[in-house]
Amino acid sequence: MSEKKITLAHGNGGKLTHETISSIFVPAFNNPELRELADAACVSVGGQRIAFTTDSHVISPIFFPGGDIGKLAVAGTVNDLAVMGARPMYLSCGLIIEEGFGVDDLRKIVQSMSVTAKEAGVHIVTGDTKVVEKGAADGIFINTSGIGLLSEKVPKGMKSIQVGDAVILSGSLGDHGVAIYSKRENLLLKNSLKSDCAIILPLVEKAMGVCDSIRIMRDPTRGGLATTLNEFVSEQAFGIEIVEENIPVKEAVMAVCEMLGFDPLYMANEGKVVMVVPAESAEEVVSALKSLPLGRDAAFIGHISGEFPGKVCLKTLVSGERMIDMLVNDPFPRIC
């Protein structure tokens, strides 16, 4: 890493984030679990296989259409466990609060964490609260770490992906990113957009119920779908081809993106899952997802291709082809 100072782009979940991880963290903390760079580490404790993950949430604003930082913190960590094929069980809650923060707001956030945890069937069993002076933090930051139980039947991960496999997305792209951006910038939208912030565990369970050879699942948060798909293939002998017209994007999201020059492929999602499955299971998995309200816009959006090793290629609406890199410079700070 050549930079001397940390920039917002180091935290955008894209290329610089990956560089920081691979040049600073992976060499220092050197262990096989971390090197997997999955959404959660899979470890053994006394012979029991468990998934373990952590996420700090610094979203601004803390209350937004469709959720708040509390809901996001619980759903985000539950989702990271779910996409590993784990059954989420226990969460921790580490708060950093700025002096002067409203106790009523804290109560609302904690209540929201409690409701979301109940919905996900997890227990928040341990916590820590730090208070820093006025000006030393912006309101409230929440870390949630989580533990999930791994079964025998979990996705085998990147190495199991094969040419011809189908890429499936559980719903429309960019709702969270655009909702946060609009709220932050006080954009007045006729159809006020909501974040898609949600527990995706039911989607994952439904898909695993009809397909026991899902290769990999991820929730495309910071960095968006484009970054997640690049992670799937960046060191592989094959690539991914996705078809623009198959990718669900809400009209209002598209409108904001066009107005501001954003690309929905890079916008954050907080209630979606992208999965790679064998081609022959694709139809069944899409149907299974569509049977749930959260998955009604699920779609088969592309496939693993031998043509573009290590790359993600978008077939555009005008029949062109465009290579899609990881998120690079756009910082989108504090989106989660």
Contact status: 328 vs a copy of itself (CB under 8 A): no
**What's the closest the beta carbon of residue 52 comes to a copy of itself, in angstroms?**
6
The one-character DSSP state at 51 is E
| Strands 239-243 and 312-315, sheet pairing | parallel
* Residue number with CB closer to a copy of itself (23 or 162): 23
| Residue span binding a copy of itself (CB under 8 A) among the ranges 14-22, 173-181, 202-210, 294-302 | 14-22
Number of residues counted as binding a copy of itself (CB under 8 A): 84
Contact status: 102 vs a copy of itself (CB under 8 A): yes
Contact status: 221 vs a copy of itself (CB under 8 A): no
**What's the closest the beta carbon of residue 247 comes to a copy of itself, in angstroms?**
27
Contact of 157 with 41, CB cutoff 8 Å: no
**What's the closest the beta carbon of residue 169 comes to a copy of itself, in angstroms?**
23
Contact residues for 331 (Cβ-Cβ < 8 A; gap 6+): 7, 8, 9, 11, 12
Contact status: 34 vs a copy of itself (CB under 8 A): yes
| Amino acid in the structure at residue 10 | H
Tokens of 183: 């709220």
Instruction: Single out the residue of 103, 104, 11, 18 nearest to residue 60, CA to CA.
Output: 11
**What's the closest the beta carbon of residue 187 comes to a copy of itself, in angstroms?**
20
| Amino acid in the structure at residue 162 | Q
Site for a copy of itself in 37-76 (CB under 8 A): 40-41, 43, 45-50, 52-58, 60
Contact status: 235 vs a copy of itself (CB under 8 A): no
Within 13 A of 106's CA, how many CA atoms are on the CB side? Answer: 15
| Residue span binding a copy of itself (CB under 8 A) among the ranges 107-115, 226-234, 260-268, 297-305 | 107-115
Tokens of 84: 């590993």
* Residue number with CB closer to a copy of itself (84 or 301): 84
User: Per residue in 104-133, is it b (16+ CB within 10 Å) or e — as a string?
Assistant: ebeebbbebbeebbebbebebeeeeeeeee
Q: Which of 123, 153, 296, 322 binds a copy of itself (CB under 8 A)?
A: 123
Contact status: 127 vs a copy of itself (CB under 8 A): yes
Contact status: 132 vs a copy of itself (CB under 8 A): yes
